[in-house]
Amino acid sequence: MSLPQNGFVNGGWSTPLHGDPVTVLDPATEEPLGSVAGLGAGDVEAVCTGAAEGFEVWRDVSAWERSAVLRRIADILRRDQQVFAAVMTAEQGKPLAQSAGETAASADQFDWYADEARRVYGRIVPGHLATDRIHVYAEPIGPVLAFAPWNFPLLLPARKVAGALAAGCSVILAAPPEAPYCSLLLAGAAAEAGLPPGVLTVVTGDWRTLAGTLVDHPAVRKVTVTSSVPVGIELAVRAAGQVKPITLELGGHSPVIVTPGRGVAEAARACALGKFRNGGQVCIAASRFFVARAALEEFLDVFVATTSSLRLGPGDQEGVDVGPLASAARRSATESLVADAVAQGAQVVAGGRRPAEFDRGYYFEPTVLTGLSPQMAVMTREPFGPIAPIAPYDDLEHAVAQANSTEYGLAGFVFTDDLEAGLRIARRLEVGMVGINNLTVATAEAPFGGVKHSGHGREGGSEGIGEFLVTKYVSARMPDPAGWAG
């Protein structure tokens, strides 16, 4: 299929963007897929004004009709699942099966918020006087500026767009320059579903130089960001200068605590398969494994065997489990973390290098490290790559302390035969989400977000729509009932 070459502005592709174009590379081949026009400084006013005009239309559309539009978007994503999957694999690198699954999960976001759009309630509160009525309304906050990353190029935009649209907001979506095409195809699906012009705008190119200008624009009333901690802090400071609320979903370094028991082998298989999904480029990816010493040998044997069985290759090839990393920068960062760990005494027990069979593409072998110490970078910095550090523990309290020792607090995981123990550990983990015997905690019906430097605010669940609503209170005094008798 032909890929869009421009942003989506005022309901279509015809309004040109005037910034420098950005070339999009296929990470499996390092060859260009195409280029997209970039947002220019002269485009900001038109883009933000268009979103403001779209908001004035969309806010007055009934909740039932907004719900219907979101449902139609979900239907289109499911209808075109294979198209979205092929584009996603081409621009981001993940295997086709994972891309298809991401498309289905994105449709779920619109389905969920189609229902939430009809569940935005206010209330009436009796006042001190018989004539007083206190009306409390939940209203859309206004045009939303959304920044989405490249690792889930459809799902992460869908989380933001679906929630904002359900609330009655318009959205300016800054597509990730490394993988913009799924965002653009989402805009096309929204237009086909009947979304009015200006309600969803997608800007493309290397918009990062203009991010602050977009945040500053008076038409923008809310900012939502999924990114790294430094980028999130920078945008939060900018938003604070304009007294604009911001939702932050930032980095993670998710700990996994494995207790002894009959399910250790099953836990090891699940952890290995989950760790290397999307090449480990997942904000909630399991990235530090703390295993009870009594279970370590069995866990490590199964984990390494499962890791070694994974097939590495281009995402569009049959049977591939792990595709290339998304960019040369991600591969270099992964190599640096492994080298740092090895220099400080860690052992590579699986992977650890660029595969010899590929002379093109950003490939790196799924890697398992042992012999770790807390000061190694891989134990303190978000790896965002295919590295699994595995360390033993003798004392559960110490394992929990180690799990909580970083600045991150996005997700954590527990594998145990004892559910009561798992729930106790879950309560102690300083994170926004916990999976017990399960690494797949992200789902449309549950709130997604973190604590500490991993951010604040939530996407998904019944909490997600609240990020795009403001509360208005109206005090109404009725005529004195005594005068009604005539």
Residues with a known catalytic role: 249, 283
Amino acid at 210: L
Distance between CA atoms of residues 156 and 146, nearest Å: 10
Q: Exposed/middle/buried for 262, CB within 10 Å: 0-12, 13-18, 19+? A: exposed
Distance between CA atoms of residues 374 and 377, nearest Å: 8
Distance between CA atoms of residues 392 and 294, nearest Å: 9
Q: What's the Cα-to-Cα distance from 219 to each of 7, 205, 236, 242, 432, rounded to whole Å?
A: 19, 21, 17, 11, 31
Compute the CA torsion angle 157, 150, 172, 235 (nearest 10 deg).
110
| CA 183 remoteness from chain centre | 13
Residue 410 near residue 287, CB atoms below 8 Å: no
Distance between CA atoms of residues 186 and 73, nearest Å: 8
Closest CA to 171 of 395, 8, 60, 322: 8
Residue 321 near residue 358, CB atoms below 8 Å: no
